[in-house]
Each structure stands twice: as C-alpha cells, then as structure tokens.
Amino acid sequence: MRLRPFRSVALFAVAMLAACAPVASPPPVVPAGGPAESEITASAIATHVKFLSHDLLEGRAPATRGGELATEYLATQLALAGFAPAGDGGTYFQQVPIVESVVDRGFTLAVPGRTYKYGDDVVAFSGVEDARVAVRGEVVFVGHGIVAPEQQWNDYAGVDVKGKWVLIMVNDPPAPADEPTLFGGKALTYYGRWTYKFEEAARQGAAGALLIHTDESATYPWQVVQSSWTGTQYSLPPAPGAPALGVKAWIANAAAVDLAKRGGQDLDALRAAASKRGFAAVPLTVTATAALTQTTARKTSPNVVGVLKGTNAGEAVAITAHWDHFGTRAPAPGEAADVDRINNGAYDNASGCAAALTMAQALARAGQAPGRSIYVVFTTAEEAGLLGAEYFATHPPQPMDGFAANINVDGANYLGRTKDIVMLGADRSSLGPMLATLAGERGRVVGEDTHPERGYFFRSDHFPLAKAGVPALSLSEPKQFEGPNAAVLLAKQEAYNGKDYHQPSDEFDPSWDFSGAADDAKLLTQLAWRVAAAPAMPSYNDGDQFAQVRKR
Ligand SMILES: [Zn+2]
C-alpha cells in the first residue's frame, strides 16, 4: 500500500505519541467542565441497541411503521437528554423527500446498425422524474470524466458535451512513477467513484452518461451491476434548476468496445490515452438514441435532528448516525412461515445511534454550554445511498460554511475494549492531529484505514458533509483488541462481515460487550467538545480534494 503524503505525517505523529506513552495506560484526562463522560456506559449503549433492533421495529425501513417507531424513540431520547428540536417547524423531524423509481425493462439504447440489449449490454436509470425520457445525441469519450483543479486535471477541457452522451471510465487515472501521489496513489479518491462521474457529467450539461463496466475496474462482475441497478431505485428529487442527467447508464465492456468501433475508434487505444496527462476528450462519429420509461413515487422519511445551543451559535459541530436499515423482506415462494426475514440492523446501525444518544446525554450534562452549537443528527435512507445526509447537507438548519466538523458513527464496536480507534478521514484534515492528541491522553492510538483502495470514506453519512466542505471523521472498525482473546475477537469481527452484514442475523446479542464502544464514544464526545471550543475552525489539508470547497 502506498501512503498518501498527509497520511504519513499523521502516522508519524501517532507513532511519536505511542513511543512517548508510558507502559501502563494513564488514567483518562478529563478537563473540568467538559462533557459528563460518566453518562456513557456499555450498558446504556446496549440498552438502546436492544430496543432499536427489536423485531417490533421490523428492520427500520424508511417510510414504514417500524421506521417511524425508531424515529419517535430517537426524538424522545434527544428531548429527555435536553437537546432542542432542530427539524422542520419546531419539531425534531426534518422530512426528506425520497423518489422511488422503477425503470421499465423495455429500455433501449441504439446506434445505427445496433440496439444494445437491456440487462445484457446496458442498465439504466434516470436523474429526472418524468415518466418517459428520451436522449438523442453524439457520443463523446471523456476518459475518466474528471475535473480536478488541485491535480491540474480536466477531462472535459476544450469539449462541449451539452445535450450529448458522455462515455466514461470508472476509477482514478493511475499514478505514474514520476507522480506517485497523483489521485491518491493506490487509494481511491472521490473522483474515481461512479457517483462522481454522473455528478460531473450533469454539471457539464450532458444529456446522458454511459459508465464503462469492466470486472477489473469495478472489482465486481456485470451481474452485480445488473442486480443493483434494476428494480426499485431511490434518490432525492433534483433541486429545481439543478443540472440532471436524462439517462444514467452502465454499459458492459463488450458493448462499449462495439460503440467506440462504430464511432471510428478503438476503445483500448482511447483508454490508454486517457490514463496519461494531457488527454483530450474524443468525439465519436456516432449518434446514440435512448428511450426510458419509468414509474416513480414520492415518499418522505425524517432525519431526527436535535441541537445543544452553544455560546457561539453561529457555528456548529454535527454528530451523525443513520437510523434506517433494510426492513423486512417479502417471503420467498415456498418459504417456511417461521423463517426470520427481519433485518434488525443491530450493529448496522442501532449501535451507532445508541452511541450517539449516550454522547448527546454526556454533552447535555456538561454543566455549561458548548462553544459552537452541537447537533445530533439521526439520518434516514443511508442504505439507499446516503439520502438523508445528502438532504441535511443541502438543507442545513444553519449555513454549512459554519459547520466546523462532522463526526459520524456507523457501527459501534460490540466486541470489547481496544487499544486503537480507527476514524476514516483522520488523514485528511486537522481533525486527525486533534484525534491523535486525545487518543494519546487516554493511552490509545489512532489506527489506520487498512483498505484505502476501497474508498470507504465515500460510503457513509459524513461524506455528503465532506463534499460540502465540512472536515469529517467516521468511526470504523478497530483492529487491536485488548486481552488474551484479541485474535479470537478479530476473527469474530471478520465473521460478522462475511455472514451477518446486511442480513437478518445482524441481531442484538445479550453477550455483546460495548465497553470498547463506550471508550470510543467518550473520546469522540470530548473531541466534539474541543472542536466546539477551538478558536479556529478545523480545515482540510492542502491538496485534499475537499479543501477546494471552502477555498472557492
Ligand atoms: Zn451503516
């Protein structure tokens, strides 16, 4: 694994702290007047998890009775803790509109001489809510489809794609030997994610976008694209006047090769050129036509939002945790009546909500107001694509520029105490050194993201806030369990990921040990308090992709 430049600096700082730490763990340093950390206990966390993952909540799907029960519980707990409502109209609920859409399998994408087959060659959905969408235009190959000023990279330079199709490669351009940190080296940057590709294509005014799927670039086979992008899709309604793509599609590699050939080009040659600096987009001499029919429905589901007003209420810190999960699946034909079909989501993410509730309680019992205000936000529709967090970031209760930090909890450790705390994003902003200092004070260390190439930073609710320029951290899985059972516990963690993740078996177990989660929650509560009190706002490191937002 190649280290990012700022990561290596952060690791060096952590290594220094670890080297200076005495052999025995020092007692926690808890400054007077800070959050009431004694409110955060393993049993309090377990108690909330037990309720939130109860079968009666039916898997907490958005816009269901079980989901509503979960949000009522969270709002009630915030009220009891002493957080003020910060949702719509003096309530704790910020209603998020969600578009459900199903594309008809009769979708067609055609060029002269060939119609690509829906399912086998192409899958598609739309960025607009119209029942019928037609896109007809020239196809332009735009390489990786990236506009990254801080990398001096622009795949759209000198080409006008308004009203046209763009044909795009996924992932980041590879880092050459003479520029080893280009696009994060081996780490995936947001420019490499498929969601970015569609967003940029829309900003450029394209009418339709075709993402080229290869097994290697996606790291999963075409069947996964097929199953993920057919059936019901969820999205936020496009903001009025915001650019939106009529057709967002994935195209299988063989079909993309054929399309380029009909446009007078060799796709492999185009791809090779697009992987080097100085690439210019190539218009293909072919016009493509697509017709898409869809049924859409609007639903609403709330984010639960509470605030602890600070003495500097013009600025804020946000603690986030998603409350939603996958609900109860329909019975399969011939399935026995007693098969468990409830996706309880005990770890994902009743545990994160539970930890955040105890953090809220500790903050509210500090005995004094925080510096900046502190929001606790339980987001909806994370599992459907971070929709609640995206809505919060675009409809914040106060301007996003005044948000000093976001701390996200998506899964709290149920396997006991650990030496390390792992926070995605610690290498990106000045929150990383603050976190390292706090961990050091508590005889702990900041662990690293062991899979930066998987882009986990882009996959939970802190990410829409990061995109809005807010320095963000998200709690991830620890690796250094304490005690003689450390190896067994690590194996248990891996077994969960293989067997229980997003399954009905993610259920509350009375033997779960949230003492490590309590340690993490105490540390993060103190971090929130310190960020709220710090004279200056935290900031992204120079050169980080998200530093651009507040510079603009
Ligand atoms: Zn989750």
Give 34 Cα–ligand 1 centroid separation in angstroms. Answer: 29
Give CA–CA dist 420/161, Å, rounded.
48
**How remote is the CA of residue 174 from the centroid of ligand 1, in Å?**
30
Report the pLDDT value the prediction gives residue 2, as an integer from 0 to 100. 28
**C-alpha 291 to ligand 1 mean position (Å):** 35
Please give the average per-residue pLDDT across 335-350, as a whole number. Answer: 94
Q: What percent of the chain has pLDDT over 90?
A: 81
Expressed in angstroms and rounded, the spacing between residue 255 Cα and the centre of ligand 1 is 35
pLDDT digits (tens, 9 = 90+) for 156-187: 999 999 999 999 999 999 999 999 989 988 88
User: What is the C-alpha separation between 276 and 284, in angstroms, rounded?
Assistant: 20
Question: Residue 551 Cα, ligand 1 centroid: separation in angstroms?
Answer: 31
CB atoms within 10 A of CB 31: 11
CA-angle at 268, arms to 265 and 270, nearest 5°: 55
Query: Which among 388, 372, 382, 385 is positioned nearest to 471, based on CA atoms?
Result: 372
Please give the pLDDT value at position 498.
84
Q: Looking at residues 188-202, what average pLDDT do you find? A: 93
Residue 410 alpha carbon to ligand 1 centre in Å: 5
CA of 266 to the centre of ligand 1 (A): 41
Helix (H) or strand (E) holding 195: helix 194-203
Q: Which two tokens stand for residue 254?
A: 């063989």
**C-alpha distances in Å from residue 414, one per residue of 492, 497, 521:** 10, 13, 12
> Average pLDDT in the 463-476 region?
97
Distance (angstroms) between ligand 1 centre and the Cα of 507 equals 14
CA of 350 to the centre of ligand 1 (A): 9
382 CA distance to ligand 1 centroid (A)?
A: 7
Query: How far away, in angstroms, is 383 Cα from ligand 1 center?
Result: 7
DSSP 230-285: SS-EEEPPPPTT----SEEEEEEHHHHHHHHHHTT--HHHHHHHHTSTT---EEEE
**What contacts 249, CB < 8 A, 6 or more positions away?**
109, 122, 123, 124, 125, 208, 209, 210, 211, 290
Ligand 1 geometric centre to CA of 323 (Å):
8
**Ligand 1 centroid from CA 391, angstroms:** 17
- For residues 227 and 240, what is the distance between their CA atoms, to the nearest angstrom? 30
Among the listed residues 198, 160, 154, the one whose alpha carbon sits nearest the alpha carbon of residue 173: 154
- Single out the residue of 454, 202, 444, 470 nearest to residue 319, CA to CA: 470
Band (188; pLDDT cuts 50, 70, 90): confident
| Ligand 1 centroid, distance to 169 Cα (angstroms) | 28
Task: Give the Å distance between the CA of 325 and the centre of ligand 1.
Answer: 8
Q: Are 305 and 392 in contact (CB under 8 A)?
A: yes
Question: What is the CA(348)–ligand 1 centre distance, in A?
Answer: 5
Q: 322 C-alpha vs ligand 1 centroid, how far in Å?
A: 7
Q: Chain-wide mean pLDDT for the chain?
A: 92
Run of H or E including 211: strand 208-213
pLDDT given at position 32: 54
- For the chain, the first-to-last Cα distance in angstroms comes to 32
Residue 72 CA to ligand 1 centre (angstroms): 20
Residue 3 DSSP one-character state? P
Q: What pLDDT does residue 16 have?
A: 36
Distance in Å, CA 195 to ligand 1 centroid: 18
Give the tens place of pLDDT for each residue, 214-258: 988 777 789 888 877 888 888 999 888 889 999 999 999 999 999
Distance CA 454, CA 362 (A): 34
- CA distances for 276 relative to 130, 211, 264, 270, 357, angstroms: 39, 19, 21, 11, 49
Write the Ramachandran bin of 68: left for phi over 0, alpha for psi from -120 to 50, otherwise beta. alpha
pLDDT (average), residues 511-520:
98
Using the mean position of ligand 1's atoms as its centre, give its distance from the Cα of residue 345 in Å: 8
Contacting residues for 51 by C-beta, under 8 A, at least 6 apart: 57, 73
Angle, alpha carbons 144-147-149 (nearest 5°) = 135
Main-chain dihedrals φ then ψ at residue 521, nearest 5 degrees: -65, -40
pLDDT in tens, 259-313: 999 999 999 999 999 999 999 999 999 999 999 999 999 999 999 999 999 999 9
Residue pair 392/467 in contact by the 8 Å Cβ criterion: no
Phi, psi of 259 (to 5 degrees): -60, -45
pLDDT at 480 over 80: yes
Cα(23) to centroid(ligand 1), Å = 36
pLDDT tens digits along 301-341: 999 999 999 999 999 999 999 999 999 988 888 999 899 99
* In the predicted structure, residue 43 carries a pLDDT above the cut 70: yes
In the predicted structure, residue 8 carries a pLDDT above the cut 60:
no
Expressed in angstroms and rounded, the spacing between residue 349 Cα and the centre of ligand 1 is 5
